[in-house]
Structure 1
C-alpha cells in the first residue's frame, strides 16, 4: 500500500483491495424512476385545515415545505420507511388529531394500497404517551431493521410489536425507545449528543458520529457500538426503557500513522491511513465501514471504505467534487452515491487533479462546505460498481432519463438530499429530493425560483428507481460481527477526545514518486493547536510520469468562531502532460468565508481552474 497505492489511484485506477483485480467498467443499464405518493398537502398549519375534502380518509395532511425524508425498505421490498411532518389536524378529541407533527410512516412501492385506501400508513401517530416516554423527535434518517418490526429514526428505535405493514402493528402495540450513549465515568446524566446514526447490517451494532468542540474548531469522530436494550435502567437519564450503546469504539487511533506525516525534513503521504471524518454507514455484508475521509487529491472530498477487522483502506470515489451520502447493495457489489458530479459546483476548486493534499491542512473545511448553497444541495444519485471511479468510468446517473423539464425526474432544480437506499433484493433504489426555494433562488440572485409541480405544491418528493433489467437477489442474513474494531480505540466514558495529528510548523520537502519535489512551509497558530497556513511551491512534481505540477499556492485560515472561518488562497499552479490545466486566483487572492452550519458562499476575489480547455469559475455569492 503506501505511496504505490496512491499512484494507482492517481492514474485512474482505484484499487478495491491489494488482492483484488480491477473489473471492466460496467455498461449503462435501463433505469425507470417514478415519484412515490405521500399524504395530501394542507393549505395551512391552522387546526382543522386538513379537511375531509382534502383527505376523505381522515388520515392526515402534510406541510408543503417541511422536509419529508425517505429511508430504506422493509424486508418484503414493497414498502419503504419515511418521515413526514403532519399539519392542519383538527383539535383533540377528534380521532384525526393524532396526525400531527413529525411522524414515521411506511409507503407502498408497488402501486397498491392499505385496506383503508391509502398507499401509506402512519406508524407513530397515536402512540400512547406511556409507550414513548422520553423519546425525541421522529424526523431524521429512518432505517428499518431486517426484522421489519423496528425502525431507527432520529435517536430512537420504534418497535411496532409486529410487522409494520401488517394490521397487527397498531398505535397501542408500538413503543418508541430513546438511545443513550454514556459519556460520564459515573454513568450519570442524559448521555452524549449523537448524530448521523447508521444500523450495521447485522442489526446488532450501530455506527454514529459526535461533534467535538474542545479544539480551535469543530471536529467530529465516528463510533461503533453494540445496541443493548435496557428495560429498567439503574443509572443515567432517562430512567425509562431505552437502548444503551455499549462496547463503544472510537474509529480513530492516534497511534496509527497519519495521512500526512513529518519524517525529519521530509513530508510523507500515507494513503493507507484510516481517516474517518464522518461515518456514512457500512457495506452490505457489514465487513467495511464507509466514510468521508482525508483527501487523496487537493480539495477533492471523497468516500472511502475500511475493513472493520482488517483496517484495509480503499477509495470509492475520485471524481472531482463532493461525495457524501452512500448506500451499498446487500451483496457488496454496487454503490448508490449522492454527488455533485455533473453540476460543476466545486470544480473551480478541485477540477485540476494529481495535486497532493497539502494545502488541505487549511482548506478542507471550505472544500467540504462549498457543495451547498444554503439549504440547496447540488446532489444527484449515481450508480457505481464496487471498484468505484476509475479511468473514464464515473458511474451512471440514476435519474438521467428525462427531458429536464420542470418536475421531470432529472429537473436540475430538484436536488437529492440525504441517504439513498437499496432494496434488499437489489432491484430498486429509493431517494428523496428538495426543490430549490428562496433564498437559494430569487432576489438579487439571478437564478429564478421554480414553481413546484408536485402534488399540493410540495417542495419535497420521494423517488423510486427501478433497475428493470435486474433479477431479485436473495442472500443469507449477516451474522453478528465482533464488538472489537482492532484498529480503533476503545471508548472510556468521560475520557477526552484526542487531538488529530498535523505536521509541526517548519519547512519540508515532498518528493514526487516519479519526478520533482514540493517545498512546503507550514505555520501553526499561536497556541500550536492547529495549522494556520500552508505555502507550497511545486517543481516538476509527478507521481505517475504522466501529469506534472508546477507553480505555487498559499492558503491561510482565519478563525472567527469554532464553526465560522475565512480561507485565504493565493494560487498559480499549472498542470502539464496528459491533462493540461491551470489553477489561479486574482492578484488580490481568493477569500472565502464559510460557516459550516449554514454553508452560505461568500467570497472576495476569484479562484478559477481550467482543465483540458474547460474553464470552471466559482459560484456567485449567496444572496
Structure 2
C-alpha cells in the first residue's frame, strides 16, 4: 500500500480504524491563496531606523526576524485578521511615532481595503495611556478576537475597546483598556497565581481553556470562566484584571487511564479522557480540542472531547503529526497544521495499528522529531468535522502553487499556530515562517533560502479563499455548565490530581481482533511515567481487521537530568505486518539511539530506524535536519 499525496490527501483503505462506518468524504474544492499586507520592514532595530522614507505615514515598522510575531483569527465581519507584531526602529519620544515600539496588537485588512489613515493595518495597543494598561502582562501571544468584536485576547491580557468594535475608527487609544488575566491558585488568593500557557477563548466569550506545566515536567489542561475584578484586594497584580474562576483540571474524574493493568493483563482504553495539550474548541463550543494519548504507536493525533458527556473522538489519524487546529463557526470543518505533506514522521509511524506500548517511554521522540529547531514542516490541511477516515485525509489548503521559492506552497515556508476560519466559513487565515539558520546553513546540510517577502522578513500572513463556498451561519454555541461534569474541580489551593501509573512487570495485551502481545515494563522512578523500558513480543496481534502484527520491539529511555525534556532513547525493532499491507519496522545492527530535547528539537541519532510499507521505504531524517 503506497502512501500518496495530492490535492486531496489520501492513502489506504479501512485505515480510519475500529471498523467504524464513516460519512462519505467531501470532494476537493477550489482554493485561492494570497498574502496579506503587514507594516513595512525596518532594516534594523536601531532607534530611528523606521524612517519616513520607509513608512511615510509614520505608523511603525516591523523587524526582519519572526521575534514575537503571531497571527490570530478574524473579526466578526470576516474582513480583518488580528496579529501580534514587534515594532522596531521607532524614533525616541516625544516624536509621535515613538509609540510604535515593542510587541503590539494590530488588525490587518483582509479584503484589500484600507483603514481611514491609509494603512491596511491598524494598531490596537499603540499609544494606550499607561493608566489604561496597568500591570500589562509580558505574555502577549495567541491573539484572538472575542465574537462580540469589542475585545481581544492577547496572551495573558484582554484588550477592551469599551463596547466599540475593534475595527471602528471610534476604537481609539484613549478609549482602550488592557487588563491582565490572573489565575488564583493559592488557598488565600495571594501571590502571582498560576502560569497558564497557550490560552484559548471559548466561543461563548466567557470561558477559557489553557495548559500549564507542573514543576516536574508534566502538563495538564484547565478550563475556567473569566470574571472581571475591578478592584482586587488580594493576589497580584492589585490592578483591574480578569480572574479565572470555577476552574476544572481536564482529567477523567473516574480515574480511567489510556492504558491500565489488572490481573496480569494490559487494557487500552480509547474512551479515557486525558487532555494532554489543549488546542481550542469546536465551532459550537461543545467540544474541547486537544493532543491526546496516541491510539497507534508514534502517531500523535488531535482529539475532541464533549464538554458535557465526555465522549471522545479522534479527529486525525494520519501517521504524521497534527497540532494547531481551528474549527469553522458552523462546526462542520476544521483546519490543522500538519506534517503529512512532508511525510516527516513516516519513518517511525507509517506502520498502522501498532498499539501505543513503546510510547509509554518514547512519546517525546514522536512529539519532538516533527521539528528541526524552527523548521516545522507544517502545512495547513482542510478536513471535514468527521476527520481522517478511509481514503480521506483532507485537502492541503495551499497546494495550488508551483513550489518555487516564495510560492504559496514553498516547502521552506512552514505553517505556525494558529490557523482560523472567517465566521462565514468562506476564508481561512494562517501564518508561516521561513526556515532560517541554524535549521539551515552553516553546519546544517540544508541551505538557507532567500526571503521573497517585503523587506526580506521571515514571516508572512496568508489568506485562503474557498471560492466555491457560500456563507454559512455560525452554529448555536453550547451553554457551558458551571463545572465540566467529567473533569476534576480545581479551586484555589488545590493540587493536580495524581495520575495512574502502570506498575512495572510482565503483562499480556490481547488484540481486539486476534492474537496477543507479551509486554514487559521496567521501572525507572526518574521518568514521568515511572517506567523506563518497554519490551513487546507480538503474536498474530490485530486491533484492526486485516492488519496482523508479529515480531518484537524494545525501547528504553534515560532522562538526562536536570533537564526533564532531554531524552536519550535506545530502540530495537523487528516488526512485520501482513494482510491489507506488507510492512516492516526495523532498526539497524547495533539498534537505533537518539538524543532529543523536546524544547530545541535537534535530531541527533546513531543507527537507523526504517519503516517500509508495500515496498515504499521511509527513512529517518539525517542528523540536524
- Measure, in 2, the Cα distance between the counterparts of 1:527 and 1:254: 26
Aligned counterpart, 2:77: 76
- Measure, in 1, the Cα distance between the counterparts of 2:505 and 2:22: 40
- Measure, in 1, the Cα distance between the counterparts of 2:47 and 2:537: 65
TM-score (structure 1 length as normaliser) = 0.95
- Measure, in 2, the Cα distance between the counterparts of 1:287 and 1:494: 28
TM-score (structure 2 length as normaliser) = 0.95
Q: Secondary structure at the match of 1:62?
A: coil
Structure 1 unmatched ranges of 5 or more: 1-8
Q: For the Cα contact (< 8 Å) 2:140–2:156, is it kept in 1? A: no
Following superposition, the deviation at residue 543 of structure 1 comes to 2.3
- Measure, in 2, the Cα distance between the counterparts of 1:378 and 1:414: 8
- Measure, in 2, the Cα distance between the counterparts of 1:527 and 1:10: 41
Aligned counterpart, 2:92: 91
Aligned counterpart, 1:179: 181
Quickly say closer, same or farther: Cα 1:138–1:526, change in 2 above 3 A. Answer: closer
Aligned counterpart, 1:12: 15
Aligned counterpart, 2:602: 600
Q: For the Cα contact (< 8 Å) 1:323–1:338, is it kept in 2? A: yes
- Measure, in 2, the Cα distance between the counterparts of 1:479 and 1:346: 36
Q: For the Cα contact (< 8 Å) 1:15–1:387, is it kept in 2? A: no
Deviation track 1:361-386 (CA, whole Å, cap 9, x = no partner) reads 00111111111101111100000001
Instruction: Identify the match of residue 610 of structure 1 among 603, 609, 612.
Output: 612
Matched, 1:473 2:472: yes
Count of aligned pairs between the two proteins: 609
- Measure, in 2, the Cα distance between the counterparts of 1:562 and 1:544: 35
Structure 2 unmatched ranges of 5 or more: 1-11
Aligned counterpart, 1:519: 518
Deviation track 1:111-156 (CA, whole Å, cap 9, x = no partner) reads 0001111000000011111111111236311000011110001110
- Measure, in 2, the Cα distance between the counterparts of 1:255 and 1:471: 43
- Measure, in 2, the Cα distance between the counterparts of 1:493 and 1:73: 34
Aligned counterpart, 2:133: 132
Deviation track 1:186-240 (CA, whole Å, cap 9, x = no partner) reads 11001111101000011110001100123xxx11111010000000001101000
Q: For the Cα contact (< 8 Å) 1:322–1:368, is it kept in 2? A: yes
Following superposition, the deviation at residue 526 of structure 1 comes to 4.3
Aligned counterpart, 2:310: 311
Aligned counterpart, 1:534: 534
Following superposition, the deviation at residue 480 of structure 1 comes to 3.5
Question: Over aligned residue pairs, what C-alpha RMSD do you find?
Answer: 1.6
Following superposition, the deviation at residue 492 of structure 1 comes to 2.7
- Measure, in 2, the Cα distance between the counterparts of 1:180 and 1:15: 43
Q: Secondary structure at the match of 1:543?
A: strand
Equivalent runs, 1:335-414 vs 2, <5 Å: 335-414=334-413
Aligned counterpart, 2:6: none
Instruction: Identify the match of residue 564 of structure 1 among 563, 566, 575.
Output: 566
Deviation track 1:148-172 (CA, whole Å, cap 9, x = no partner) reads 1100011100112221111111111
Aligned counterpart, 2:289: 290
Following superposition, the deviation at residue 472 of structure 1 comes to 0.9
Q: Secondary structure at the match of 1:372?
A: coil
Equivalent runs, 1:31-42 vs 2, <5 Å: 31-42=31-42
Quickly say closer, same or farther: Cα 1:180–1:345, change in 2 above 3 A. Answer: same
Following superposition, the deviation at residue 329 of structure 1 comes to 0.8
Q: For the Cα contact (< 8 Å) 2:592–2:607, is it kept in 1? A: yes
Q: Which moved more, 1:594-603 or 1:393-402?
A: 594-603
- Measure, in 1, the Cα distance between the counterparts of 2:280 and 2:198: 9
Following superposition, the deviation at residue 477 of structure 1 comes to 5.5
Deviation track 1:474-530 (CA, whole Å, cap 9, x = no partner) reads 236525421211110000322222332232111001111222110000011147961
Q: For the Cα contact (< 8 Å) 1:202–1:477, is it kept in 2? A: no
- Measure, in 1, the Cα distance between the counterparts of 2:446 and 2:587: 25
Aligned counterpart, 2:8: none
Q: Secondary structure at the match of 2:544?
A: coil
Q: For the Cα contact (< 8 Å) 1:15–1:314, is it kept in 2? A: no
Q: Which moved more, 1:393-402 or 1:260-269?
A: 260-269
Q: For the Cα contact (< 8 Å) 1:361–1:534, is it kept in 2? A: yes
Following superposition, the deviation at residue 108 of structure 1 comes to 0.7
- Measure, in 2, the Cα distance between the counterparts of 1:25 and 1:614: 26
Following superposition, the deviation at residue 15 of structure 1 comes to 8.3
- Measure, in 2, the Cα distance between the counterparts of 1:220 and 1:577: 38
Q: For the Cα contact (< 8 Å) 1:10–1:544, is it kept in 2? A: no
Q: For the Cα contact (< 8 Å) 1:103–1:138, is it kept in 2? A: no
- Measure, in 2, the Cα distance between the counterparts of 1:14 and 1:243: 43
Q: For the Cα contact (< 8 Å) 2:83–2:105, is it kept in 1? A: yes
Quickly say closer, same or farther: Cα 1:205–1:14, change in 2 above 3 A. Answer: farther
Equivalent runs, 1:197-208 vs 2, <5 Å: 197-208=199-210
Instruction: Identify the match of residue 586 of structure 2 among 584, 587, 591.
Output: 584
Q: For the Cα contact (< 8 Å) 1:352–1:611, is it kept in 2? A: yes
Aligned counterpart, 2:3: none
Deviation track 1:377-412 (CA, whole Å, cap 9, x = no partner) reads 110000000111111110000000010000000000
Q: For the Cα contact (< 8 Å) 2:253–2:487, is it kept in 1? A: no
Following superposition, the deviation at residue 600 of structure 1 comes to 1.2
Equivalent runs, 1:151-300 vs 2, <5 Å: 151-161=152-162, 162-214=164-216, 218-253=217-252, 255-300=254-299
Q: For the Cα contact (< 8 Å) 1:41–1:64, is it kept in 2? A: yes
- Measure, in 2, the Cα distance between the counterparts of 1:29 and 1:253: 39
